C-alpha cells in the first residue's frame, strides 16, 4: 500500500510547518536548557506494517472481504486503501484468544469456500448473514458472528485511518477524530 | 523532622463524598488529612490533543486491557484504574463490571453530571410497597443540604413540581425544544407521562477537584496526600474505636500509619466496604462495624438498557427538514407505581433521551455501498433512549473478601456477587414496550429495540453494601452515616444507600456527606466522640 509520507511534530507544530528531517539536522545547536521542538514522523506514515498474524490465504480472503464490505465511497477511501486490512492483521494478532479464533475460523471458512475466486452473486450468498435483522445479542453461529465483527472493525479502522482524515479534510468536512489523549500518570 | 501524624479527621477518598467531607469539615475548623490511592492530575500537562490515527492502536485501545471498563477509550485509558493492578473476582458466568478511577477527584473527573434528588418514593420505599427497608431519613431531612449542594455544582434543569422528582435550587433551562423533541414530549403527554429537561451540573469540569478541594485547601485545614493506598483502619485495643489508618505508598509500596480522632471513609462504594471488611480485628472479627452481619450485603445499582430504542426521525433523512427539526434531549420522569400499582413489578424506571445521532453500522442489516449510502442518509437523524431502572436491594447480592487474590499492594481483593432478578427483568421489558409507544406516537420509525441490561456494575452507580438504618441489627450506619458500632467512623459514599431509585446518585452522595460532616464536626466540638 502506498502511504503518503506525512510529517508531524509531537510537540504541537502543525504538520505543514514541520521541518523535514534533513532541515532539522542542519539547525544550529541551541544553548537553551529546553530541548528543541524536533520534527518527527509517525511510524505508519513512513513505513509499511509487517504482516505477521494471518496466513497468506487468510490475509487475501480478508482483503476481498474488505473490498466488498467497505468499498471506496465518494471521496472516502476503501478499507483496503485506508490500511484497515493491514491494521487488523496487527490488532487481531494482539487480541485475546477468543477474538483471534473467531477471525481465523471465519477466514478459514472463506478460504475453504474459495471466496477470492467467487463472483458477486456467489460471494453475496456467503455474506447473507450480514443482511439479517439486528439483534442485541448478535448472531449465534461463529461464522455469522465473524462477519458482523469484521464489518464493524473494518468500518471503524477505515474511519480512524490517516487516509480517511486526509480525505475528509480535502472534502472540507473538518478535522475528525481529534481528542485529548491522557498520558501515563505514573 | 517533626511529622504531624495525628489529625482530627482522616478522610479516605477525594471524590464526591470525600471532597464534600473535606469542604464541610475544614470550613468548620476541623483539621483533616485526605488520603487518595491515586495521583494528582494536571489538566495542562497530563493530556494533549491527538488525532485518532496517531494513537498506537488507532482508537481501538490495547486489546484486553480493560475487559470490564466499556467506557474506556484509547484516549483516556490512562485515567481508569488498571484492572491487573486492581483485580477482583466473581463467579463464572456472573460477571460484574467494576469501573474505577484512582485519581485525586475520583470519578467526579469524568461523571455524566446528572443531578437529580431522591424522593420519598425512595426514602420511604417500604411504606409504598412493603419491600426492603426505609431510609433512616426523609426528603425533608436532606432537602436543606440538596439546596446548598445544587448551587455549588451550578445545576441547571427545569422544576416540574412532581413528588417523584423533587424540585431543586437550580438554574432554569428555558431553551426551546427541537421539533422532533417536542413531538416526543407531546406523545408522552398523551400517554400521561411527564418529561423534563436534563438536570445536570454545568461547566466543562464539575469535579471535587475544582469545586470542593480548592476551597478546603484554602482554609489551611486540609492536608492532601495522593498515592496513599489504604490497607486497613486500626482500632484501639481498649475501646474498639478507630484510631488510625494503615496505608501503602502506591509507587514504592512503603507502609505508613497515621493517627486520627475520627475517620471518614469515602473511597467509592465497593472500595469503602472492602476497607472495612479488611479491617477485621479481635474486637470486630467480621469486619469493622459489622456486628449486624450485613456489611457487604444489600449491594445494588441501577440497571441500564442502553439504547433501549433507536429511531429515525423520517423527515430528517438526507439532511432535509427545517434547521430546528432535530437535536437536544431530555429525561422521562418515573411514571410506574406512582398513582397505581403495576402487576408485574414494583418501583420504577426513567429514561434519558437524545436526538441527532447517526446509527451504528452494527444496527444496519447491510454492507458495502448500500450500507455506506444508508449511513450518509441517516446521518444526524436518530432519536434514542436509554432506560435507567431501580434495582431492588437484596441480601444475597453481596461482596466478600477473597483472601486468595491480592492486589498489587498485597491487599486482599473483593469477590462480587450481584444478579438481577425477576423484578428488574419485568421492568426492562416494560420499558422497551413503553419506549416504542412513546416513539411511535411521535411519528418516529423504529430502527432497533431491545430489553437487555448491561452487566451489573456497568452503570457505575454501584450502591449499598454498607447501608444506613435505624436498627443496628439490620444496618451498618445510622441516619448520619455514622457506624452504629464505632462512633468515630463515618462512611459517606454510595455504599450507605438503603435504596437508589433510578436517579443518578452523585447529588445525593454530596448532600449526605455534607450532612454527615456537619454532624461529625458538631460531635467533635462537643466531645461526644
Taking the CA of residue A58 as centre, how many other CA atoms within 13 Å lie in the half-sphere pointing to its CB? 21
DSSP single-letter state for residue A39 = E
Exposed / middle / buried, residue A57 (Cβ in 10 Å: 0-12, 13-18, 19+): middle
Distance CA B55, CA B32 (A): 41
pLDDT digits (tens, 9 = 90+) for A56-112: 999 999 999 999 999 999 999 999 999 999 999 999 999 999 999 999 999 999 999
Contact between B83 and B169 under an 8 Å Cβ cutoff? The reply is no
Decide if B76 and A180 are in contact by the 8 Å CB cutoff.
yes
Distance CA A141, CA A121 (A): 22
Contact between B99 and B112 under an 8 Å Cβ cutoff? The reply is no
- B2's CB contacts (< 8 A; 6+ apart) are none
**CA-CA distances (angstroms) from residue A10 to A40, A177, A181?**
7, 17, 12
Best B40, B48, B54 member to test A by mutation, with max A CBs in 10 Å, is B54
Nearest to A134, CA basis, from B308, B332, B180, B448? B448
**Residue A23: pLDDT above 50?**
no
Taking contacts as CB-CB distances below 8 angstroms, the residues of chain A near B363 are 134
pLDDT in the model for residue A31? 59
Distance CA A39, CA A6 (A): 11
pLDDT digits (tens, 9 = 90+) for B61-118: 999 999 999 999 999 999 999 999 999 999 999 999 999 999 999 999 999 999 999 9
pLDDT in the model for residue A2? 40
pTM of the entire structure?
0.93
Kind plus residue range of the DSSP H or E element containing A157: helix A142-159
b/e B264-279 (16+ beta carbons within 10 angstroms → b): bbbbbbbbbbbbbbbb
Kind plus residue range of the DSSP H or E element containing A163: helix A162-170
A50 touches chain B (CB under 8 A): no
DSSP-derived secondary structure for B11-31 = EE--SHHHHHHHHHHHHTT--
Q: Which residue in the set B60, B79, B103 is minimally distant from A91, CB to CB?
A: B60
pLDDT in the model for residue A43? 83
DSSP single-letter state for residue A141 = S
Exposed / middle / buried, residue B283 (Cβ in 10 Å: 0-12, 13-18, 19+): middle
Distance CA B493, CA B461 (A): 11
Taking the CA of residue B47 as centre, how many other CA atoms within 13 Å lie in the half-sphere pointing to its CB? 18
Q: How confident is the model at residue A47 (pLDDT cuts 50, 70, 90)?
A: confident
Decide if B50 and A178 are in contact by the 8 Å CB cutoff.
yes
**CA-CA distances (angstroms) from residue A161 to A79, A158, B55, B216, B362?**
9, 5, 10, 46, 19
Nearest to B151, CA basis, from B516, B512, B513, B507? B507
What does residue A62 show for φ and ψ, rounded to 5 degrees?
A: -65, -35
pLDDT digits (tens, 9 = 90+) for B307-360: 999 999 999 999 888 989 999 999 999 999 999 999 999 999 999 999 999 999
Q: Which residue in the set B60, B79, B373 is minimally distant from A182, CB to CB?
A: B79
What does residue B468 show for φ and ψ, rounded to 5 degrees?
A: -80, 165
- Residues 92-131 on A with a CB inside 8 Å of B are 94-96, 99, 127, 130-131
Contact between B464 and B498 under an 8 Å Cβ cutoff? The reply is yes
**Residue B502: pLDDT above 90?**
yes
**Residue A127: pLDDT above 70?**
yes
Q: How confident is the model at residue A29 (pLDDT cuts 50, 70, 90)?
A: low
Ordered by start, the domain boundaries in chain B are 6-42+75-525
Decide if A185 and B103 are in contact by the 8 Å CB cutoff.
yes
Place of cell 473527573: B109
Contact between B34 and B18 under an 8 Å Cβ cutoff? The reply is yes
pLDDT digits (tens, 9 = 90+) for B118-134: 999 999 999 999 999 99
Distance CA B235, CA B223 (A): 22
**Residue A25: pLDDT above 90?**
no
Distance CA B55, CA B392 (A): 42
pLDDT in the model for residue B14? 98
Distance CA B278, CA B269 (A): 15
Q: Strand (E) positions, B164-241?
A: 171-172, 195-196, 200-201, 222-225, 228-235
The chain B residue lying nearest A147, using CA atoms, is: B367
pLDDT in the model for residue A176? 64
Assigned C-alpha cell, A169? 479534510
Distance CA B253, CA B229 (A): 9
Which residues does residue A39 pair with via DSSP β-bridges, in sequence order?
A9
Best A162, A178, A185 member to test B by mutation, with max B CBs in 10 Å, is A185
**Residue B34: pLDDT above 80?**
yes
Nearest to B28, CA basis, from B506, B496, B526, B468? B526
What does residue B311 show for φ and ψ, rounded to 5 degrees?
A: -120, 165
Assigned C-alpha cell, A149? 465483527
A6 touches chain B (CB under 8 A): no
Distance CA B512, CA B481 (A): 8
Question: Residues B189-215: what's their mean pLDDT?
Answer: 96
Superfamily of domain B6-42+75-525: FAD/NAD(P)-binding domain (3.50.50.60)
Taking contacts as CB-CB distances below 8 angstroms, the residues of chain B near A86 are none
**Residue B303: pLDDT above 60?**
yes
Question: Residues A36-47: what's their mean pLDDT?
Answer: 82
pLDDT in the model for residue A41? 83
Count Cβ atoms below 10 Å from residue B434 Cβ, excluding itself.
Answer: 22
Distance CA B528, CA B525 (A): 8
Length of chain A: 186
Distance CA A21, CA A18 (A): 9
Task: Express as a percent the part of chain A with pLDDT over 90.
Answer: 64
What mean pLDDT is reported for chain B? 97
- B473, B475, B477, B481 alpha-carbon torsion, rounded to 10°: -150
Which residues does residue B400 pair with via DSSP β-bridges, in sequence order?
B415
What mean pLDDT is reported for chain A? 84
Q: Is the dihedral angle over the CA atoms A125, A130, A134, A136 positive or is it negative?
A: positive
- From A69's Cα to the closest Cα of chain B, the distance in A is 4
pLDDT in the model for residue A36? 77
Count Cβ atoms below 10 Å from residue B64 Cβ, excluding itself.
Answer: 13
DSSP-derived secondary structure for B81-115 = PPTTTS--B--TT---------STTGGGGT---B-
Q: Strand (E) positions, A67-159?
A: none
A182 touches chain B (CB under 8 A): yes
**Residue A181: pLDDT above 70?**
yes
Q: Is the dihedral angle over the CA atoms B97, B311, B380, B358 positive or is it negative?
A: positive
Kind plus residue range of the DSSP H or E element containing B259: strand B255-265
Q: Strand (E) positions, B168-250?
A: 171-172, 195-196, 200-201, 222-225, 228-235, 242-249
What does residue B393 show for φ and ψ, rounded to 5 degrees?
A: -75, 120
Distance CA A171, CA B440 (A): 37
Task: Express as a percent the part of chain B with pLDDT over 70.
Answer: 99
Question: Residues B471-476: what's their mean pLDDT?
Answer: 98
Ordered by start, the domain boundaries in chain A are 8-47, 56-168
Assigned C-alpha cell, B271? 472500595
The chain A residue lying nearest B104, using CA atoms, is: A185
Taking contacts as CB-CB distances below 8 angstroms, the residues of chain B near A148 are 362
Regarding an ipTM greater than 0.95, the answer is no
A6-15, B170-179, B367-376: segment of lowest average pLDDT:
A6-15
Expressed in percent and rounded to 5, the helix, strand and coil fractions of chain B are 25, 25, 50
- From A17's Cα to the closest Cα of chain B, the distance in A is 17
Assigned C-alpha cell, B191? 400517554
pLDDT in the model for residue B529? 87
Amino acid at each position: 500500500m502506498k502511504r503518503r509520507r506525512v510529517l508531524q511534530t509531537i510537540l504541537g507544530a502543525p504538520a505543514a510547518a514541520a521541518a523535514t528531517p534533513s532541515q532539522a539536522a542542519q539547525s544550529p545547536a541551541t544553548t537553551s536548557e529546553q530541548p528543541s521542538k524536533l520534527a518527527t514522523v509517525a511510524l505508519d506514515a513512513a513505513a509499511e506494517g509487517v504482516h505477521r498474524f494471518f496466513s497468506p490465504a487468510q490475509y487475501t480472503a480478508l482483503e476481498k472481504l474488505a473490498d466488498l464490505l467497505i468499498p471506496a465511497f465518494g471521496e472516502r477511501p476503501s478499507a483496503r486503501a485506508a490500511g484497515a486490512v493491514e491494521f487488523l492483521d496487527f490488532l487481531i494478532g494482539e487480541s485475546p484468544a477468543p477474538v483471534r479464533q473467531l477471525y481465523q475460523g471465519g477466514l478459514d471458512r472463506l478460504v475453504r469456500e474459495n471466496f477470492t475466486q467467487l463472483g458477486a452473486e456467489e460471494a453475496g450468498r456467503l455474506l447473507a448473514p450480514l443482511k439479517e435483522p439486528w439483534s442485541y445479542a448478535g448472531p449465534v453461529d461463529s461464522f455469522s458472528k465473524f462477519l458482523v465483527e469484521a464489518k464493524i472493525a473494518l468500518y471503524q479502522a477505515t474511519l480512524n485511518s490517516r487516509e480517511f482524515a486526509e480525505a475528509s479534510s480535502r472534502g472540507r468536512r473538518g478535522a475528525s477524530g481529534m481528542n485529548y489523549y491522557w498520558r501515563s500518570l505514573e | 523532622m517533626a511529622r504531624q501524624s495525628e489529625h482530627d479527621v482522616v478522610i479516605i477518598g477525594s471524590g464526591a463524598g470525600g471532597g464534600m467531607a473535606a469542604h464541610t469539615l475544614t470550613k468548620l475548623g476541623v483539621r483533616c488529612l485526605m488520603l487518595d490511592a491515586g495521583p494528582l492530575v494536571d489538566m495542562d500537562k497530563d493530556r494533549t490533543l491527538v488525532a485518532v490515527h496517531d494513537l498506537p492502536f488507532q482508537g481501538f485501545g490495547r486489546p484486553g486491557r480493560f475487559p470490564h471498563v466499556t467506557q474506556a477509550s484509547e484516549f483516556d485509558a490512562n485515567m481508569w484504574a488498571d484492572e491487573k493492578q486492581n483485580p477482583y473476582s466473581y463467579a463464572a458466568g456472573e460477571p460484574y463490571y467494576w469501573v474505577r478511577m484512582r485519581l485525586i477527584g475520583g470519578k467526579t473527573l469524568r461523571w455524566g453530571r446528572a443531578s437529580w434528588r431522591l424522593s420519598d418514593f425512595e426514602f420511604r420505599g417500604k411504606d409504598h410497597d412493603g419491600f426492603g427497608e426505609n431510609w433512616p431519613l426523609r426528603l425533608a431531612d436532606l432537602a436543606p443540604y440538596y439546596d446548598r449542594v445544587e448551587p455549588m455544582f451550578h445545576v441547571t434543569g427545569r422544576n416540574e413540581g412532581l413528588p417523584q422528582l423533587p424540585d431543586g435550587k437550580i438554574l432554569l433551562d428555558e431553551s426551546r425544544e427541537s421539533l422532533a423533541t417536542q413531538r416526543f414530549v407531546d406523545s408522552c403527554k398523551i400517554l400521561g407521562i411527564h418529561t423534563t429537561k436534563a438536570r445536570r451540573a454545568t461547566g466543562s469540569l464539575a469535579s471535587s477537584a475544582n469545586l470542593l478541594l480548592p476551597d478546603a485547601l484554602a482554609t489551611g485545614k486540609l492536608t492532601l496526600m495522593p498515592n496513599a493506598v489504604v490497607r486497613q483502619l486500626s482500632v484501639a485495643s481498649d475501646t474498639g474505636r478507630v484510631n488510625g489508618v494503615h496505608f501503602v505508598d502506591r509507587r514504592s509500596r512503603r507502609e505508613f500509619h497515621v493517627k486520627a480522632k475520627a475517620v471518614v471513609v469515602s473511597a467509592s462504594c465497593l472500595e469503602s466496604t472492602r476497607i472495612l471488611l479488611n479491617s477485621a480485628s479481635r474486637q470486630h472479627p467480621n469486619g469493622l462495624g459489622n456486628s449486624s452481619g450485613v456489611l457487604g450485603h444489600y449491594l445494588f445499582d441501577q440497571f441500564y438498557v442502553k439504547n433501549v430504542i433507536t429511531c429515525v426521525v423520517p423527515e430528517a433523512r438526507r439532511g432535509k427538514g427545517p434547521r430546528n427539526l432535530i437535536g437536544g434531549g431530555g429525561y422521562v420522569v418515573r411514571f410506574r407505581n406512582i398513582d397505581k400499582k403495576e402487576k408485574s413489578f414494583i418501583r420504577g424506571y426513567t429514561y434519558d433521551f437524545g436526538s441527532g445521532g447517526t446509527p451504528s453500522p452494527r444496527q444496519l442489516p447491510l454492507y458495502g455501498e448500500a450500507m455506506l449510502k444508508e449511513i450518509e442518509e441517516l446521518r444526524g437523524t436518530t432519536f434514542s433512549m436509554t432506560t435507567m431502572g431501580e434495582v431492588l436491594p437484596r441480601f444475597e447480592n453481596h461482596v466478600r473478601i477473597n483472601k486468595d487474590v491480592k492486589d498489587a499492594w498485597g491487599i486482599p481483593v473483593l469477590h462480587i456477587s450481584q444478579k438481577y432478578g425477576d423484578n428488574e427483568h419485568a421492568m426492562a421489558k416494560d420499558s422497551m414496550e413503553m419506549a416504542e409507544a412513546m416513539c411511535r406516537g411521535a411519528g418516529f420509525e423504529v430502527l432497533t429495540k431491545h430489553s437487555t441490561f448491561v452487566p451489573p456494575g456497568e452503570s457505575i452507580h454501584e450502591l449499598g453494601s454498607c447501608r444506613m438504618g435505624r436498627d443496628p441489627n439490620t444496618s451498618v450506619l445510622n441516619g448520619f452515616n455514622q457506624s452504629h458500632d464505632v462512633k468515630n467512623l463515618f462512611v459517606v459514599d454510595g455504599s450507605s444507600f438503603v435504596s437508589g431509585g433510578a436517579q443518578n446518585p452523585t447529588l445525593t452522595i454530596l448532600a449526605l456527606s455534607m450532612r454527615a460532616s456537619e454532624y461529625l464536626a458538631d460531635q467533635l466540638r462537643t466531645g461526644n466522640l
